[in-house]
Amino acid sequence: MAALTILANAAEGPFDNYLRVAVLAVVALVFGILPLLIALVLRPKKMGEIKQAAFECGLESKGDPWVQFKVQYYVYALAFVIFDVEVIFLYPWAVAFADVGMGGFIAMAVFILLLAESLVYLWLKGVLSWK
Amino acid sequence: MDVAWEMFLLKVFYGILALVAILTFAAYAVLAERKVSAWIQGRVGPNRTTLPIVGDIPILGPFLRSLGLFQPMADGLKFLFKEEMCPGQVNRFHYHLAPILALIPALSVLAVVPFGQYVASTGADPIPLVLADLDIGILLIFALSSLGVYGIVLAGWASNSKYPFLGGVRASAQMISFELAMGLSVLPVFLWVNEPGSIGGLNLARVVDWQDNGWGMIFVQPVSALVFLVALFAESNRLPFDMPESETDLVGGFHTEYGAFKFGLFFTAEYAHVIVGSAIFALLFLGGWHFLPGVEDPWPIGWSGAALSFLWFALKTFAMSFLFIWVRWTLPRFRYDQVMKLGWGKLLPLALGNLLLYAVLASWMG
Residues of B in contact with A58 (CB under 8 A): 251
- Quote the CA–CA distance of B152 and B33 in Å, as a whole number: 22
pLDDT, position A55: 73
Q: Domain map of chain A by residue range?
A: 1-61, 68-131
**Contact status, residue B173 vs residue B344, Cβ threshold 8 Å:** no
Question: What percentage of chain B reaches a pLDDT higher than 70?
Answer: 96
Q: Locate the chain A residue with the closest alpha carbon to B16.
A: A27
Residues of B in contact with A80 (CB under 8 A): 176-177, 179-180
Q: What is the average per-residue pLDDT within A38-49?
A: 80
Does residue B228 register a pLDDT over 90? yes
What is the residue type of B220? V
Q: Count the Cβ atoms, other than its own, within 10 Å of residue A85.
A: 9
Q: Domain map of chain B by residue range?
A: 23-81, 90-365
- Quote the CA–CA distance of B75 and B98 in Å, as a whole number: 21
- Quote the CA–CA distance of B251 and B167 in Å, as a whole number: 10
Is A23 within 8 Å of B11 when comparing Cβ atoms? yes
pTM of the model: 0.89
The domain at A68-131 falls in which architecture? Answer: Up-down Bundle (1.20)
CB-based contact (8 Å) between A57 and chain B? Answer: yes
Q: What is the average per-residue pLDDT within B192-207?
A: 77
pLDDT, position B319: 92
pLDDT in tens, B16-51: 888 888 888 988 998 999 999 999 999 988 888 888
Does residue B143 register a pLDDT over 70? yes
Q: Return residues 78-117 of A near B (CB < 8 Å).
A: 79-80, 83-84, 87, 90-91, 94-99, 102, 105, 108-109, 112-113, 115-116
pLDDT band at B226 (very low <50, low <70, confident <90, very high): very high
Most confident of B86-90, B158-162, B338-342: B338-342
pLDDT in tens, B90-114: 788 888 888 898 899 988 888 888 8
pLDDT, position B350: 92
pLDDT in tens, A91-129: 888 888 777 778 888 888 888 888 888 888 888 888 777
Average pLDDT score over chain B:
84
